Structure 1
Amino acid sequence: MKNEVTEYYDKVAVHELERLNNSYSLVEFESTMFLIKKYFPDRGNILDIGSGPGRYSVELAKLGYDMTLLDLSQAELDIAKEQFEYHGLSSHGFHCSCALDLDQFTDEQFDSILVLGPMYHVHDESDRIKIQNNVHRILKKDGIAIFAYINTWGTLKSSLYELSDSFHDENNFKLMLDGDLKLDSQNAFTTVHFTTPPQAIKEMKKSNFEILSYAGAESFISGMNLEIEKVKEKSNDLYKNYIKAAAEYCEKPQYRDATEHLVIVVKK
């Protein structure tokens, strides 16, 4: 499983750097940054687990945080290093490692931790809880962590433009509604685990975290990639207003349960 995921991200490393800049995915980035600015302390040591090419780490380093990056793809980390150098930023290290291998970090080492990718590539619940417990261990007292999951309720919406052929099989609608989907690279972009907000929150409660909030990264724009592209073509200022509002409303109960990316904010 680890090798499959590593191979995938090695291949799409450059794409991953640009993915969060497209007109639809930018709302995912802005919503997550909104949560980081709302819940993280103003400064401190941050570990970015599943950092990819450093899209979030670069922005946080610009804000003055001390960043440590960890990813299982060396190709992604190489790009992250280049980005740090390009922007004249420093880091506390680039670790090519799996989220399941956090023994290299000491107890209460970090003020805040991001886990924005690994949880939706781990099939076994026991392994996901192991990640949560290790994040808890290496967080300082009162430290904040942000975890991301892929939400089946939201991906059912996005399937209209991404995976519609899969739904010739009517059983797939029930599978998406029920959640807890485990797919391999033959049936998805790589090894993935899809869940639902209640399932993810129940799982998070098995660790000793206090759940502060949860959000839907795509907010009320979820599933409307074509529409938001039209808005951007019409007026960039109008587009920016929509993205700003979506980020600020990402925790609203009206929207957060039906987006592709579920983001949970916890405190030690």
Structure 2
Amino acid sequence: MNSVVQYYEIIDEASRFSRNSRKIEFLTSTHVISSLLPSHAKILDVGAGPGAYSFYYAERYHDVTSIDLTPKHIEQINKESEEKHLALNAYVGNATDLSRFESETFDFVMCFGPLYHIIDSNERDKCIKECLRVLKSGGHLAIAYLSKYAVIPMLATREKTFIRNSVIEKVINQGIIIDGDQDCFWTDAYFTSPEDIETLMMNYGVSTIDHVGTDGISHTIQEYIDALSDEEFHSWMDYHFLTCREKSILGLSTHGLYICKKTNGHQ
């Protein structure tokens, strides 16, 4: 995971939601999650990045704890939470080991970044099990993932030198790219499908609550979305909320969000 940390130490992840085409992911995720949260919920933000979601919910009087692999992100969260006078706990840590937290601690667990970058299936299993372990019975786990069906269309608009059979094979058939490989256009990354994420999560004895494409095709056609006027963007968001659960769109959404409930009989 060192390559992932090195990547995020360099880029400005805090600016990711500054453009309308990227903001849609945030607006959709908070729209869906907020309807499921109890008052003053105890939330764990796993792979919090610089804390966009952590701050959103801390400012709405929830008890938020953040954990991220990248030290820079935790420094940013601590600095901003101090400036805003928010009691937000933030720690450097790995999503595959949440042992600093006791079992059945949180009402809601958000795992929004880790699955993007865990390329080993055993490590993904550890991540999901840990998120469920620290979640209270009856609580909700929200897992974000990257759809393999959206990657190649996105590359065609931005990095067309990667439109070649070897890249397509890695994305569609293997579901991973590895930092340093000639076909790697990002850093260590894992791609899956809406069907496969649902099948995977059924192995953990959870109940599916919701499944949405958080940015639809907006990420792929970003230049057109960013050029919309405020009124046009508002109408686009109305369209997006109406269609973000449509299966034919879900697969082409760059980011997907699967939400499940931990049942009382979960082990």
Contact kept, 8 Å, 2:49 with 2:68, in 1: the verdict is: yes
1:37-186 correspondence to structure 2 within 5 Å: 37-91=34-88, 93-167=89-163, 169-178=164-173, 180-186=175-181
Tell me, yes or no, if the aligned pair for 1:84 and 1:90 is still in contact at 8 Å: yes
Candidates 189, 194, 197, aligned match of 1:197? 194
Confirm or deny: 8 A CA contact 1:220 1:250 kept in the other structure.
no
Shift, 1:101, TM fit: 1.4
Q: Partner of 2:58: helix, strand, or coil?
A: helix
TM-score where L is the length of structure 2: 0.91
CA contact (8 A) 1:54 1:83 kept: no
Q: Secondary structure at the match of 2:144?
A: strand
Contact residue 48 and residue 114 of structure 1 kept, 8 A: yes
Moved over 4 A (4+): none
Aligned partners of 1:60 and 1:67 also within 8 Å: yes
Higher helix share: 1
Asked if the contact 1:179/1:195 (under 8 Å) is kept, the reply is no
User: What residue in structure 1 maps to residue 4 of structure 2?
Assistant: 5
Cα RMSD (Å) = 1.8
Where do residues 205-244 of structure 1 align in structure 2 (5 Å cutoff)?
Answer: 205-231=202-228, 235-244=229-238
State the AA in 1 paired with 2:209.
L
- Counterpart of 2:222, as a letter, is N
Q: How many residues align?
A: 260
Q: Which runs of 5+ in 1 are unaligned?
A: none
Q: State yes or no: 1:265 paired with 2:259.
A: yes
SS of residue matched to 2:253: coil
Find the residue that maps to 2:155 and give its secondary structure.
helix
Identity %: 23
Shift of 1:247: 4.1
Tell me by how many angstroms 1:51 deviates.
Answer: 0.4
What CA deviation, in whole Å up to 9, does each residue of 1:3-43 have, x standing for no partner? 1111111112xx21111121210111111111211223333
Deviation at 1:161, TM superposition (A): 1.7
Q: CA deviation at 1:87?
A: 2.6
Q: Deviations over 1:206-235 (max 9, x none)?
A: 21221222111112534211111221xxx2
Return the alpha-carbon distance in structure 2 between the equivalents of residues 237 and 199 of structure 1.
37
Structure 2, unpaired ranges of 5+? 263-267
How far apart are the structure 1 equivalents of 2:96 and 2:34? 27
